[in-house]
Structure 1
Amino acid sequence: MAAMTTETRSDRLDAATLAHLQGWQGRSERLRDTVTAAPVAALSATLDRDDPAPDEGTPLPPLWHWLYFLPHARHSEIGADGHPKRGGFLPPVPLPRRMWAGGRLRWEPANPLQVGQRVERTSTIRSVTHKSGRTGELLFVLVEHSIANEAGLALTEEHDIVYRSAARPGDPAPAPQRPPLEGQAAWSRTVVPDDVLLFRYSALTFNGHRIHYDRRYVTEAEGYPGLVVHGPLIATLLLDLLRRELPGAQVAAFEFRALRPIFDLNPFSVHGRPSADGRRVNLWAQDHEGWLTMQAAATLA
């Protein structure tokens, strides 16, 4: 993500490369895991929650399934950015910047994920699409995850991954946006994204991407002003706000889209506003200047 260079771009995708990458469409992998209690307790502490100690049968809060099915690449297989080297299940996209751009999730209310369950995730690459923008090449990879427990399907997730060309001096920056519901939040919370919060979330999700914890790398190699707050962490904080305000609510669906990075240099805020009928909750995050960084919505069961 965001490497700076003054040289001519060498990360163009020609027709042959694009055809090769699109050959990954339809590929699947299956992973198994157990919903153990320790990561649940650790994320609860990381989010500064006063939850009871999790035990067998404790429901898994929405998005906390991201604590499981973690990649375990050997150290020799890690790239310069801290991610596993390209290839394998995901296509070996040569573009240097990659980000988790958003997603859509649907839970099965009658079959919740719970601590103690053995679970299986089937992941399928649904599409690989290409676009050329003002700042270079873009490649969009859509991955669908289906998670099942002993009783059957529990969760379906669509995961949007975007690969981009390296940034160059003079590239136009995307125009920032104000939240559509700015000033209309029913709930708000300020979050201080210090080094410890980012480190603990990286550790819990076994995320070695150096932009989240290596200040020298992120500023010198990638050209960012500070450590980047994880997109999944921001999404988790949005639903955590909903859980704090509506403790008994059950989330049936959630969608989110990352629009602008948040850095650890300043506090940011998360906000929510339920619809008139109470079935849908609009959620969003803003940086310290008030710009919209993530837009989301939850549907309640």
Structure 2
Amino acid sequence: MPGITDWIGREEAAEDVLTPALAARFHATLALPGAAPREGEPAPRLIHFCLCQSVAPADALGEDGHPARGGFLPPVALPRRMWAGSEIAFAGDLTVGDHVRRTSRIVDVVEKEGRSGTLCFVTVDHRIDANGATMVRERQSIVYRDAGGAAPPSADAATAGTAVETIVPTPTLLFRYSALTFNGHRIHYDRDYATGVEGYPGLVVHGPLQATLLLHLAARVRGAPPDDFTFRSASPLFDGQPMRLHAGDVVDGRLDLWTAGAGGPVATRAQARWR
């Protein structure tokens, strides 16, 4: 894939407003406890996934619903794109009403050979600023692969955590989260495309949605939101099947978390840390 490393160092910036309406919709979609935050109150963490998203017009989208390649992200020839994971550090909370600026920079583009064939990893650093301060730093990993299907996950069932919650990801939940994040990827809401084109058995549960649910589970376990949070996708989960959120024990300010289907392997691994 010659030329794609030329994208290293590219930057883009976008601005947005964390409105009360967005905070209320995020709170309702994730069924967070209590009342939704109001103007001037702290917003739920990872709501920044909903801010400063690309607003490519419909005729600039690829078949999969993502913006066509070759803009900010490099023109990787591999057809399947997924959010592989992120490392996130919080300096504090965004508040409802904040004017937010996200600055993004491509820091690496690497091609590898995996069990499912050729993979290309693009690493992007994001900085989220509000009120003259950097509130969130994130290193995001995006993976591109061919159309032959992902490598089969381990057949071993995930272990049970100390704390376990169960959610059934409905098509409505997936559609609403796609709308919140302005994510046009069709595997999350277009069943015919997900099954007929990309070969999945159902609609795919977003990795960042699973991560957000795990972060808020961590906050409930510890009684405070984490200062640092990492997550990485391991295998897919699909709509209509029970999704279990697991948390272990807090050890030295660290908490391991994971999602899994009933009797299935780990889908997303995460770790929350408190400084």
Question: Shorter-chain TM-score: what band?
Answer: over 0.9
SS at match of 2:257: strand
| CA-to-aligned-CA distance 1:71-118 (integer Å, 9 cap, x gap) | 111111111111111111000111011110111000114xx3111111
Larger Rg: 1
Moved over 6 A (4+): none
When residues 213 and 268 of structure 1 are mapped into structure 2, their CA distance, relative to the original with a 3 A threshold, is same
Aligned equivalent of 1:188: 164
Aligned equivalent of 1:7: none
Does 2:18 match 1:35? Answer: yes
Between the aligned partners of 1:82 and 1:91, the Cα distance in structure 2 is 17
SS at match of 1:216: helix
Kept in 2, the 8 Å contact 1:62–1:251? The answer is: no
Aligned equivalent of 2:139: 158
> What's the % identity of the aligned pairs?
46
1:278-297 equivalences under 5 Å are 279-297=253-271
Between the aligned partners of 1:156 and 1:84, the Cα distance in structure 2 is 24
Aligned equivalent of 1:266: 241
Q: 1:175 aligns with which of 122, 135, 154?
A: 154
Between the aligned partners of 1:232 and 1:207, the Cα distance in structure 2 is 11
Identify unmatched segments of 5+ residues in structure 1: 1-17
- Given residue 53 of structure 2, which amino acid in structure 1 is its aligned partner? L
TM-score where L is the length of structure 2:
0.94
When residues 203 and 94 of structure 1 are mapped into structure 2, their CA distance, relative to the original with a 3 A threshold, is same
Q: After the TM superposition, which of the residue ranges 127-136 and 89-98 deviates more from structure 2?
A: 127-136
SS at match of 2:64: coil
Between the aligned partners of 2:25 and 2:98, the Cα distance in structure 1 is 18
Question: How many residues align structurally?
Answer: 275
Does 2:37 match 1:49? Answer: no
By how many angstroms is 1:173 displaced? Answer: 2.5
By how many angstroms is 1:41 displaced? Answer: 0.6
When residues 172 and 38 of structure 1 are mapped into structure 2, their CA distance, relative to the original with a 3 A threshold, is closer
Between the aligned partners of 2:57 and 2:101, the Cα distance in structure 1 is 22
- Given residue 124 of structure 1, which amino acid in structure 2 is its aligned partner? R
| CA-to-aligned-CA distance 1:101-136 (integer Å, 9 cap, x gap) | 111000114xx3111111211100000001123432
Aligned equivalent of 1:59: 42
TM-score where L is the length of structure 1:
0.87
Between the aligned partners of 2:140 and 2:222, the Cα distance in structure 1 is 26
When residues 274 and 172 of structure 1 are mapped into structure 2, their CA distance, relative to the original with a 3 A threshold, is closer
SS at match of 2:7: coil
Between the aligned partners of 2:246 and 2:162, the Cα distance in structure 1 is 7
- Given residue 203 of structure 2, which amino acid in structure 1 is its aligned partner? L
- Given residue 129 of structure 1, which amino acid in structure 2 is its aligned partner? V
By how many angstroms is 1:240 displaced? Answer: 2.0
Between the aligned partners of 2:177 and 2:86, the Cα distance in structure 1 is 19
When residues 172 and 188 of structure 1 are mapped into structure 2, their CA distance, relative to the original with a 3 A threshold, is closer
